[in-house]
Amino acid sequence: MAYPRAGANEVPAQPSFPNLEQDVLGYWKDDETFQASIDRNPVGDDGANEFVFYDGPPFANGLPHYGHLLTGYVKDVVPRYQTMRGKHVERRFGWDTHGMPAEYEAEKQLGITQKHEIDELGIEKFNEACRTSVLQYTDQWREYVTRQARWVDFDNDYKTLDLDYMESVMWAFKALWDKGLIYEGFRVLWYCWRCQTPLSNTETKMDDAYRDRQDPAVTVALRLESGEKALVWTTTPWTLPSNLAAAVHPDVDYVTVVGADGDQYLLAEARVAAYARELGEEPEVVARYKGSDLVGKKYLPPFDFFVGRENAHQVLTADYVTTDDGTGIVHIAPAFGEDDKVVTDAAGIEVVVPVGPDGKFTAEAGPYAGVHVFEANKQIIRDLREAGLLLRHETYDHPYPHCWRCNNPLIQRALSAWFVAVTQFKDRMVELNQQINWVPGHIKDGQFGKWLENARDWNISRNRYWGSPLPVWTSDNPEFPRTDVYGSLDELERDFGVRPDNLHRPFIDELTRPNPDDPSGRSTMRRIPDVLDCWFESGSMSFAQVHYPFENAEWFENHYPGDFIVEYNGQTRGWFYTLHVLATALFDRPAFRDCVAHGIVLGDDGQKMSKSLKNYPDVNEVFDRDGSDAMRWFLMASPILRGGDLVVTERGIRDAVRQAVLPLWNSWYFLALYSNASGREGTWRTDSAHVLDRYALAKTHDLVRDVQAAMDVYDISGACQLVREYLEVLTNWYVRRSRQRFWDGDQDAIDTLHTVLEVVTRVTAPLLPYTTEVVWRGLTGGRSVHLTDFPSVSDLPADDALVAAMDEVRDVCSTALSLRKANKLRVRLPLARLTVASPVAGTLEDFAEIVRDEVNVKEVSLSTDVDAYGQFQLVVNARAAGPRLGPNVQKVIKAVKSGDWSEVDGRVVAAGVELFEGEYEQRLVATDPAATAALPGGAGVVVLDTVVTPVLEAEGVARDLVRVVQQARKDAQLDVSDRITLTLELPDAVRSAVEPHLEFVRSETLTSSVVFGEGAAEGTVGDGVKVKVAVAKA
């Protein structure tokens, strides 16, 4: 038996791909193939031959979803490809372990709902629970990732909780501090009252951070000292007790009108009509102002909690005030609005913060003390109504930011926090972004570039527990101020006399020492209790994973930036961004050279995947039913890798089996079947003179060239498309057209298919690692396809002319077969003639016999006179062309109708204007429309003689009968080489038609003898006429 040469004992026609994959997994484990793939390529001088990719660390306190799987597949495809291209590719897994995701999960497990409960439990116990929680699913992750056929080193992984990693993070903080890029500031930040910590601008722009919310909207009157009532509008009534100013736009027109109640109201003129219900349809205007005229006007605040504050309760100007909604006058509570605080800071108004860390009012807010701000809205509105200050109360639906950790709505709140001064170097970030190759390309100056241009200082401190500590110690006595920032364990040991082996709280908090600047010796240096934003840690991944600069400094310098990174495009505001911030600030380099930013994976209903909605197929069920290669192909071949979103459906995954896995396997099965039947073994050679072999080899040459070009620029979906198109040619053209040659044991055919399959399995190994492993080992008997080099185009013959001609032949045949289908003429029914009319019809002359046999006609006629059979009319798509051409579109349409257009080298020009693809179409007006069809691209026409004579019909019936017999052979599980005796039970008309063609039936079905009698297996011939046959091994 020629095949298989390694692996299983046979090549099944219908294998269980999941079972095959499990066998391969076992083989890889026993063979240690992954490690061998790393070891096979040298590192090179100073690591010059290494390909470095950054493996974005996931949290391990939850199971992977399709987004993880998608990214994981890309993280496997690219390193496999680069390894086959000769690169040394280390693949080290990492874990993101700190931050609120871990804390929130630990809180749920401990039954904690309030932050003070953590303090009561004790930080040490709580953080230990976080440590346990965050590594809860590491084994399951390893199973998932391994089942994906993703090769990655779990045994040498990195974790952000490791001491080495945390020391590198500490170093980064200190380095930024030394550069003057770290500062403490009192700022208004988005704040989670449940988690009791601020969030960065990055975190509030994450996917799903903004969700639809209904809030109360109130219009409130502020009585000016001059007597009018200035109307302000807000969707946060709870901020009104903290009101310190009102703002107008300096250039907006304002009016004082007399309301229906006789009072005078001040608001923007453009907003008067919006208040017709309260003020009247056309209220009398008694005064007009520009916003700038109102500056300095004093008013009585709606609540008296902060009356008398210096410079407070006056009208100020602000450029952000609009007349799109509200009244055109903005109420300002600077502690709860970032832009508001800028305005009041400029006016010298001191901020008041009558809201505590838990989101509840403090005693400063009088009767609202102890009430949560959102709950206080109703009481505040009621009090405003009773005071006669409430003009309107309505509801307002709007997108509103929520905490990405606990899902509660956020508030803005002024507090002291630590920042990276991103605005000091954001221009350099923009410049360095130009050195990054983004896939898709528009991300560079679009989604990422725009985010960089508008970057703000980054809040990196969190009032929490589980994370890398801010390495900042301050004096506990303000009379003797001092701040110390540390960047290493050595520095800590130098000043505190002990070398920490755990940088987590509470252990790091226990490091104290006398303040060197206090001559009394009574003050102490204590660490500020905050921990770092976990995004600061993940942004440190490139250097912290190798413990830079304390170890591996030379390696890092020679391998930075990294070569490749991939995540979903939302990470332009997350991980990609934080990596870029730290790379720019610390090293003045980009963090990575090439970045794939893919789209979002959606459920089968087009919505975000949801466990509760069950709108996506279970991952394990897909693995068990279709296999990992099917899922890999479905995801890799989709538009999601070009930035689009992808709906995951079971049908889509199954289509992947049909498009790629099965065609490859069926070609392998076909070769094994006929090689074993003939006893002929295939060898690697490319010198066959047969035209179909030459075509297959030349197409394989082009496949290698084009897939390599696509993969070199990370166009994985483009590579998949090339492979899919190639497999279509291989199975439905080369193999099918060569079937008789294989039946005859043609050595050239066997060697050619052996050769192209060996090449194709190497080309597609990164895309279908399981299937290609089985096929390649079965073909060659070698150790692993993943220990081979990517094919070289120089090893395969190129023949552009042959490829172009044969592709034209395939187009002709496809078009003719479509005509058959349209006329309901089955392929087994021979027809008299096919005419091909094309300017290049002469190039098809050598292939006329192939066309004749493929289309099943008796004669192929070639002509260059296209006009004899039909003409092409150009039709302009005005909707598509109009936006680009403007008024010229009518001129072009008129020219086309008058025939004033031409086509040269594929360029269509009308009235001197070139039309682009999609802006026009060419429609065929045929002499015989039912029998004529246009070739692709309007290159000519084919005309099919659709007249069926009795002689042709009889031959067609005989061909149908061959199909029935072949099916009976298959059902009887006969070997492809077994000869048979055949019994036919046919109606008289069918028998009369078949008898002249019995020799044809015998030869096609390996029949030794034919008798007419009682059949067993039923089938149909002709137009559905039933026949019966019986087959027996001769």
Clarify whether 96 is annotated catalytic.
yes
Residue 362 phi, psi (nearest 5): -90, 180
Clarify whether 471 is annotated catalytic.
no
Amino acid in the structure at residue 1015: G
Which among 157, 164, 250, 608 is annotated as catalytic? 608
Which among 151, 473, 575, 776 is annotated as catalytic? 575
According to DSSP, residue 328 is labeled: S
Structure tokens that stand for 113 in this block: 């709902």
Structure tokens that stand for 992 in this block: 């009369």
**Exposure string over 255-284, b if 16+ CB within 10 A, otherwise e:** bbbebeeebbbbbbbbbbebbeeebeeebe
Clarify whether 82 is annotated catalytic.
no
Taking the C-alpha atoms of residue 893 and residue 923, their distance in angstroms, rounded to an integer, is 15
Label residue 31 left, alpha or beta by phi (over 0 means left) and psi (-120 to 50 means alpha): alpha
3-state secondary structure of 579: helix
Q: Which of 150, 79, 92 is nearest to 564 (CA)?
A: 79
Clarify whether 378 is annotated catalytic.
no
Angle CA(875)–CA(876)–CA(882) in degrees, nearest 5?
170
Q: In sequence order, what DSSP letters do the residues of 607-661 get, joined into one string?
A: SBP-TTTT-S--HHHHHHHT-HHHHHHHHHTSGGGGT--EE--HHHHHHHIIIII
Does 897 belong to an annotated binding site?
A: no
Clarify whether 404 is annotated catalytic.
no
| Preceding peptide of 506 cis, ω within 30° | yes
Angle CA(782)–CA(785)–CA(786) in degrees, nearest 5?
130
Q: How many CB atoms are located within 10 Å of the residue 308 CB?
A: 7
Which among 96, 340, 533, 960 is annotated as catalytic? 96
Structure tokens that stand for 681 in this block: 């073994």
Residues 6+ apart with CB under 8 A from 111: none
Contacts 24+ apart (CB under 8 A), 423-427: 423/455, 423/456, 423/457, 424/180, 424/181, 425/181, 425/584, 425/585, 426/452, 426/453, 426/455
Which helix (H) or strand (E) segment is 531 a member of? strand 531-532
Clarify whether 575 is annotated catalytic.
yes
Residue 661 phi, psi (nearest 5): -65, -50
Which among 571, 617, 663, 776 is annotated as catalytic? 571
Which among 535, 633, 665, 668 is annotated as catalytic? 535
Taking the C-alpha atoms of residue 681 and residue 693, their distance in angstroms, rounded to an integer, is 17
Structure tokens that stand for 306 in this block: 């902060």
**Residues linked to residue 342 through DSSP beta bridges, in sequence order:** none
Cβ-contact 199, 192 below 8 angstroms = yes
Clarify whether 743 is annotated catalytic.
no
Which among 4, 15, 57, 354 is annotated as catalytic? 57
Taking the C-alpha atoms of residue 435 and residue 615, their distance in angstroms, rounded to an integer, is 40
Taking the C-alpha atoms of residue 942 and residue 854, their distance in angstroms, rounded to an integer, is 14
Q: Per the annotation, where are the binding residues for ATP?
A: 611
Residues involved in catalysis: 57, 96, 535, 571, 575, 608, 611
Q: Per the annotation, where are the binding residues?
A: 611
